[in-house]
């Protein structure tokens, strides 16, 4: 089954404790992204990746890091989480074919930083 | 990306056709229009994408007038399970070498389908 998986799905942590949210896709897509969703603000892109070892900042990259060492994986790293990073996080992978660009989103990771 | 404006919310009844309009006055020549659907606590799901005139697939139709400054997502005969938030995105989605893809989802339209 074609899918994007994220782990963990739920996480409660404390300020300053480094964490990683994993994202994996099995569709051989080149493009991957991370978003955060907050009430009243919609989805905002954090980082995106055009291919292995190619990443760039989205709208809200501060406090986050990413890496793309393999095509299928795109982990999101919070080196020193703060309460304002409490949010619902989505990973997406995407493809472009026949003049259509479609993103597939993961199930989300709900992060609480206390 | 072109800025988009959608109604914040809409109500409908089961079996009705629902039309959600998105305004994008500063759409660029290379921009496409894409709609996503999101259920609570789930990631958005691609519905449809178009450039001009009309596009139809198994779940929806997308109407784009000649000036392309707006677009309308049409959902035929909605059911309770169509209750969701619908997002309109406008942008040049074609990936190019070293060209970033910065997508912005606005607040969307919250559609409530009533029995």
Contacts of B48 (CB under 8 A, 6+ apart): B34, B35, B55, B57, B59, B60, B61, B62, B73
pLDDT of residue B1 exceeding 60: no
Q: Band the pLDDT of B21: cuts 50, 70, 90.
A: very high
8-state DSSP, A98: T
pLDDT of residue B90: 87
CA distances from A111 to A3, A13, A84, B40 (A): 21, 8, 10, 16
If you measure CA to CA, which chain A residue comes closest to B104? A44
Asked whether residue A64 carries a pLDDT value surpassing 70, the answer given is: yes
Query: What is the mean predicted confidence (pLDDT) over B94-101?
Result: 58
Residue A57 confidence (pLDDT) above 70: yes
pLDDT of residue A99: 76
Could A101 and B49 be called an inter-chain contact, meaning their C-beta atoms sit closer than 8 Å? yes
**Whether residue A21 has pLDDT greater than 70:** yes
Q: Determine the average pLDDT of the residues in A70-84.
A: 97
Range A57-85 average pLDDT: 96
Q: Do A50 and B51 touch (CB under 8 A)?
A: no
Nearest to B41 among A40, A92, A108 (CB): A108
Q: How many CB pairs under 8 A join A and B?
A: 75
Taking contacts as CB-CB distances below 8 angstroms, the residues of chain B near A60 are none
pLDDT at A10: 97
Whether the predicted pLDDT of B100 surpasses 60: no
Task: Determine the distance in angstroms separating the CA of B94 from the nearest CA of chain A, rounded to an integer.
Answer: 7
- Hey, is B51 helix, strand or coil? coil
**Are residues A50 and B43, on separate chains, in Cβ contact within 8 Å?**
no
Portion 73-112 of B in contact with A at CB < 8 A: 87, 93-95, 97-108
Average pLDDT over chain B reads: 89
pLDDT tens digit sequence for B26-79: 898 888 899 999 998 899 999 999 999 999 999 999 999 999 999 999 999 999
């Amino acid at each position: 089954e074609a899918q994007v998986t994220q782990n963990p799905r739920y996480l409660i942590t404390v300020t300053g404790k480094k964490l990683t949210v994993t994202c994996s896709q099995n569709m051989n897509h080149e493009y991957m992204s991370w978003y955060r969703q907050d009430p009243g603000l919609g989805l905002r892109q954090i980082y995106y990746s055009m291919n292995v070892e190619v990443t760039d900042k989205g709208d809200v990259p501060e406090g986050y890091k990413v890496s793309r060492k393999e095509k299928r994986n795109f982990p999101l790293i919070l080196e020193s989480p703060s309460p304002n990073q409490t949010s619902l996080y989505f990973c997406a992978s995407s493809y472009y074919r026949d003049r259509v660009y479609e993103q597939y989103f993961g199930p989300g990771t709900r992060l609480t930083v206390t | 990306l072109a800025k988009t404006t959608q109604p914040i919310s809409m109500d409908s009844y089961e079996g009705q056709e629902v039309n959600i309009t998105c305004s994008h006055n500063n759409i660029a020549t290379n921009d496409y229009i894409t709609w996503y659907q999101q259920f609570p606590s789930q990631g958005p799901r691609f519905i449809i994408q178009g450039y001009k005139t009309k596009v139809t697939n198994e779940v929806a139709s997308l109407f784009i007038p000649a000036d392309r400054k707006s677009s309308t997502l049409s959902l035929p005969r909605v059911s309770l399970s169509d209750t969701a938030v619908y997002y309109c995105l406008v942008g040049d989605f074609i990936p190019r070498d070293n060209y970033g893809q910065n997508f912005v989802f606005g607040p969307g339209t919250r559609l409530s389908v009533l029995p």
